[in-house]
Structure formats: structure tokens, C-alpha cells
Amino acid sequence: MTIKTLRKAALAAAICSVSAGTFSSGAMAAGFALQESSTSGLGRAFAAENAIGDNAAILARNPAGSALFNKMAFSIGATYVNPEIDAAGTTDYYLLTAAGPSLAGSIFDTADDYASSAVVPNAYLAVPFDDCWSFGLAMNTDYGLETDFNSSWPVTHIADKTELLSVNIAPSVAFDWNDQFSIGVSANILYADATLKSKVPNNFLLDPLAEQVLGGPASNARILDADGDDWEYGWSVGMLWRSVDGRTHIGVSYQSELDPEIEADVNSDLLTSVNTGLPFDNERANLTLDLPDTLELGLYHRFHDEWGVALGAMWTDWDDFQRLEAFFPRQRVNGQPFPEYNPLKIKEENFKSGWRYSLGVEYYPCDEVTWRVGYAYDNGAARNGFNNDAIAESAAFGLGAGQGLPVTWRTLSIPDADRQWVTFGGTYKVNNQLSIDGGLAYLWGDDERIQEFQALPLTPDVGLGTYFDGGTTNLEAWLVGASLNYSF
């Protein structure tokens, strides 16, 4: 073990503990995406959400959707997401010295309900110009969550508190080629704001040594606090086909990848500047996120006056999200970027692309009422198996008899898993202009094994290795939505 190894491991662990937390599966979709674009879609598990066009919310999934409206149409709504993610496991603490590692203590603990509830809003406007051209505006949330581990959680230096807010604004234009075929394109304007924190655990086993190093209480000492935001721009394109009788709709839409670079103010009681040797105080850090592109296919068919069926498939290119890297522009020596900070490879994620499949059924007992049920299967983005680079890192400290400790790709901050949805909803048409939607969904995922390793320095010659061996014990969520639709 070398001081250089510890320094790099410390920085990676600190940044990773907050940046990876940004994308917790509290979002309750594969990887760290949100599906909740509309209440009507919620009722049918978002099957054919880019094809049906029962209100202006189609604009969230397909910019060609505004061509369906011969009057100006407006939709506004929100979905309340109440996730529950529980985890449990054993945390081993190791003293890392030149003589080799030694086990300093072991704790078994649980983290209950560490993904916070949230409201996911949306609003849409479709404006026809003439028989051929129409305009659309979509405002919704693609990513957003809050995770907060209890202060007694023994690995708050790996996973503590994270808040992420994002808003996607998408103006669009559509051309109605004829009464059956339309195409559309939109600009995606994404705003992302993140507040990220990690700290020394309250029940830190090495308090006396840590207090000596920190010059103060070890418990709750800030490893890293970061707060930042960014704007990023992308595009979407879509196609919509309708049968002559209007009973069948087919939608195909594509959304480009987005790569926001979060510019954050960073503070820390532990991490120090290479220039001053002092702890970070309003230091700057840039973190680039590779948000994936998506392809969505939707089919809707009203096979009976009282019944319709919707089928959906969405492919998400999570292969783009391979790693997290940070850049500290002020960390320079002799005018050159300090190599251990710029760029700093924080963590290999190695996500895999996957599909989400959905099926919805609609029942129309009368002109005023629509009932919906749905089911979806969402493939998780986290890979199964082991992270060989992380295993090699633990082996470099002599752990696992020099062979390293088993470390999974799946982490506490991103406990991703395959998910299933069952949904129910309905629409009441108040009059020819006004309708109200309601929706309810329950989703759940499999319990998964999680094994993580991180290293932090205590003195120039002594480090703390933390190894978590456990997993998720519950991953589920309830969603309730309501929306109002109005045509002028």
C-alpha cells in the first residue's frame, strides 16, 4: 500500500459516495430514469404512450403527437411517488497499513426506507396552426429523487444523502403529411440541479485516531458536500401513423443522449487542495453524466367499440453510461492539471442497455368514462457479476489474502434490479372540453446481493478500508397520479 494509492482511493470513494447516489433506484425505473410523464399513461403502465394521444401528454414521448389535435389542447398533472428501499448487511472496517490490513471491527445494520417520496409534475400544450403544421411544448421531469440514509448507518461515507432535481423543456413542431401520417421534431432543454453529501459515520469505530487527524469530532465530519447545476441540450424525433378509421395508432420515437456537466461547489473536512494543503473550501468540480438515448415503439388498437389494447417497448442505451469521471480545474501544479485529480475516474458502472415492455387494456363503458389496467416489465441496467477493477483495488491493500474481496457492479447507491409494474386508472370526461385522469400503480423489484469496498486515509500511513456485504431486502413503490386536460 502506498500513500498515492490511498489518496486516489480516498478521492474516488468520496466523490463516488455522492455522485453515484444521484442516481439511486428510488427513481423506480431502470438505471435512474423516471417514467411518470402522464396520469393516463400511468393507468396503462405507459404502454403505447407515444402513440395513443388521448391528451397532450403524448408530447413527452413523441413530438409528432401535436398533429393529433384540431384544437389547442392543454394537460397538467402530477404523480406522487412513494418508494421504499430497504437494505441490510455487515460492514467490516479494516486498518490499512504498510504491514498489511487488520480487521478493526464489524457491524450488522439495516437501512429502512432510504429513498424519499417525491411529486413528479408535468405540463403540456399542443397548438395546431393549420391543417398541416402544429406546435407543441412539453415540460416534465426525466430524472429526480432524494435519498437519505439514517445518521447511524455505518457506511455514510459510501452512501449518505442526495437530492436531484431535473426539468426537461421540449418545444416541438409537427407536420401532418396526410390524415394518416405525421412526423415531428423537438429540442430538449434539460436543467439539472444536485445537492450531494457524504460524511464520517456516527458510529465510526476508530474515533480516537480520527479525532487526532481531524482536530475535532470524527463523527459527522464532512467527507464531501457538493452543490451544483447545469443546462444541457438534445433533440427528439418521432413518427405517428393512424388507420383511416382511427382505431389503430402506431408510434415510433427517438430521444438523443444528454451529457450534462454538473459544475459543483465542493466543501470537505478531509480532502485537501494540492496547492494549499488545506481542506476544500468552495472548491470547483465538474462531473459529466452520460444520460442515454432511447427508442420507443407503441401500438394501440381499438378492436371493439368498448375495448382497446396498447403495446409498448422502450429501448434505453445504458451502454453509454460506463463510468463516472470528475475534473477539478483548480487543482494544478506549475500550471498543469494535477494528474490524480484531472480527470479522476471515480467508478466503473458498466451499465447494460435494456428493454422495457408494457401492455395496457382500456375499457370504454360510455362516452364519459374510460377505465385502464396495465402491466410492465422493466429490465434493470446494472450488470450482474463482479467488478474486477474494484476487486483488484482491495487486493492492492492485501485484503482477501491478497486476492481481493468480491465486489459487485450493483451498489447501495444504485441498487438496480428488474422491476414489474401493475397499474390501474381512469378518465372522466366532464364535458367536450374538460376531462380528469386518475391513476394508481404498484411496482416491485427482486432483492439483490450488494458487495462494496472503499478506502479512506486517516493519516499519511494509515487508511480505513470499508467493506459492505449485504443487499436489498425490499424494493417497491406506490404511485398515485392525477391530471386535468382541457381543449380550447
Report d(CA 301, CA 52) in Å as an integer: 9
User: Can you give the residue ranges of every domain in the chain?
Assistant: 3-487
User: What superfamily does domain 3-487 belong to in CATH?
Assistant: Outer membrane protein transport protein (OMPP1/FadL/TodX) (2.40.160.60)
What are the grid coordinates assigned to 118, written together? 417525491
Sequential pLDDT tens for the chain (488 residues): 444 555 555 555 544 544 444 444 444 556 567 889 999 999 999 999 999 999 999 999 999 999 999 999 999 999 999 999 888 999 888 888 888 898 888 888 888 887 788 899 999 999 999 989 999 999 998 877 677 777 677 777 666 777 778 899 999 999 999 889 999 999 999 998 887 777 777 765 554 555 554 444 466 777 778 888 999 999 999 999 999 999 999 999 999 999 888 888 888 877 777 777 777 787 888 887 788 899 999 999 999 999 999 999 999 998 877 777 778 887 777 777 766 666 666 667 788 899 999 999 999 999 999 999 999 999 988 888 999 988 998 999 999 888 999 999 888 777 788 999 999 999 999 999 999 999 999 999 989 999 998 887 666 677 778 899 999 889 999 999 999 999 99
Report d(CA 37, CA 58) in Å as an integer: 9
